[in-house]
């Protein structure tokens, strides 16, 4: 093959490959896709070339007027946005779409992809109550989340900040459901809280409720009857109506739990019964 023809073919291939991989489209990166009203987030607009003297422009929703403009000398622009600037005229609890582009002299790039950011609002805390504080894995406890509003769209229940249920503000849950994903043990403390959503069409959620302690007692974890002494804080002690609970599996081993006042949230001591 003639060298000139071969060189021409290679040059055409290289040019085609370069065009297929290079793009003047900027990318938009956000530090978080969810913030709480009053917080600030960082938005970055990255461009494919070093455009000294060019401008990055940040837009909200479908507006053609930028909410932020920044001149930079490298490949990236950083914008720091408060929730108020991000929302503009939108209400707290909205999801805002943002995008960016860049300009050099008379040239304007294509826009970046759009990305959404939720600005969460908050409402007053609900109250949380449980029907009893000691249950076996197969027993159930009634958990009630009581919002200070007449109507809410849903309630969310948490175990140590991990969501375990949502929907109705009053529900029954077994000890096994409360202890799912936890390592099995004779006495398992479960620290419950709840939140509520006052409006299903907006991103508004309440502050967390008070904490409520439920202890799951699994008799199958022992081969002989035992007495357990459980020490709890004064705050939890006031919520318990009894001082002793006995759990047993048929004619097999039994576990008797005696509640005492102590300085730890849960400090168990178990001794074999004669």
What domains lie within the chain, and their CATH numbers? 23-121 (2.60.40.10), 124-272 (2.60.40.10)
Please, which residues have CB within 8 angstroms of residue 94's CB and are 6 or more apart in sequence? 87, 118, 119, 202, 203
For residue 204, how many other CB atoms are within 10 A of its CB?
21
Q: Positive or negative, the Cα torsion across 37, 38, 39, 44?
A: positive
Only one residue has tokens 């249950």, namely 135
Q: Give the sign of the dihedral formed by CA 95, CA 27, CA 107, CA 67.
A: positive
Cα 66-68-69 angle, rounded to 5 deg: 90
Residue 92's Cβ-count burial label (10 Å; 0-12, 13-18, 19+) is middle
Sign of CA dihedral 61, 64, 65, 71: positive
Angstrom distance (rounded) from CA 237 to CA 70: 58
Residues belonging to the chain:
274
Residue 138: both structure tokens together? 């197969």
Instruction: Enumerate residues 6+ apart whose C-beta is below 8 A from 103.
Output: 54, 55, 57, 109
**Cα–Cα distance measured from residue 61 to residue 12, given in angstroms and rounded to the nearest whole number:** 41
User: Which residues make Cβ contacts (< 8 Å) with residue 140, sequence separation at least 6?
Assistant: 172, 173, 174, 175
Q: What angle do CA 112, 45, 91 make, to 5 degrees?
A: 80
Give the Cα separation of 204 and 123 in Å (integer).
7
The Cα-based distances of 12 to 3, 7, 9, 24 in angstroms read 14, 9, 5, 21
Structure confidence at residue 260 (pLDDT) = 74
Tokens linked to 75: 């490949």
Alpha helices in the chain (DSSP H): 3-21, 83-87, 175-178, 234-237
- Give the model's pLDDT for residue 20: 39
pLDDT at residue number 239: 64
Pairing of strands 226-232, 254-261: parallel
- The reported pLDDT for the residue numbered 242 is 62
Whole-angstrom distance, CA of residue 176 vs CA of residue 173: 8
Q: What predicted TM-score, i.e. pTM, was given to this entire model?
A: 0.71
pLDDT of 263 reads 52
**Distance (Å, whole) CA 239 – CA 237:** 5
What are 238's two structure tokens? 């006031």
Counting as low any pLDDT under 70, the low residues of the chain are 1-23, 50-52, 233-242, 250, 262-268, 273-274
The torsion region of residue 181 among left (phi > 0), alpha (psi -120 to 50) and beta comes to left
Please tell me the predicted confidence (pLDDT) of residue 246. 84
Output the pLDDT for position 8: 39
């Amino acid at each position: 093959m003639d060298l000139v023809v071969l060189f021409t073919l290679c040059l055409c291939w290289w040019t085609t490959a370069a065009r297929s991989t290079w793009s003047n489209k900027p990318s938009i990166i956000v530090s978080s896709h969810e913030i709480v009203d009053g917080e600030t987030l960082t938005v970055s607009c990255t461009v494919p070339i070093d455009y000294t003297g060019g401008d990055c422009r940040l837009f909200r929703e479908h507006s053609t007027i930028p909410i932020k403009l920044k001149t930079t000398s490298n490949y990236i622009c950083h914008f720091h946005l408060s929730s108020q600037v991000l929302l503009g005229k939108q209400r707290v609890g909205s999801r805002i779409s943002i995008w960016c582009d860049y300009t050099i002299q008379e040239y304007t790039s294509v826009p970046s992809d759009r990305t959404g950011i939720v600005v969460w609002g908050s409402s007053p805390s609900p109250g949380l109550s449980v029907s009893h504080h000691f249950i076996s894995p197969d027993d159930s406890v009634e958990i009630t989340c009581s919002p200070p509003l007449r109507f809410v769209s849903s309630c969310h229940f948490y175990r140590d900040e991990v969501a375990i249920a949502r929907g109705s503000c009053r529900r029954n849950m077994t000890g096994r459901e409360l202890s799912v994903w936890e390592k099995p043990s004779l006495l398992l403390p479960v620290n419950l809280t709840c939140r509520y959503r006052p409006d299903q069409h907006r991103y508004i959620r309440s502050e967390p409720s008070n904490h409520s302690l439920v202890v799951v007692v699994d008799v199958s974890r022992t081969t002989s009857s035992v007495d357990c002494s459980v020490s709890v804080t004064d705050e939890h002690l006031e919520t318990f109506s009894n001082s002793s609970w006995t759990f047993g599996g048929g004619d097999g081993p039994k576990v008797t739990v005696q509640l005492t006042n102590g300085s730890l949230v849960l400090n168990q001591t178990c001794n074999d019964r004669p």
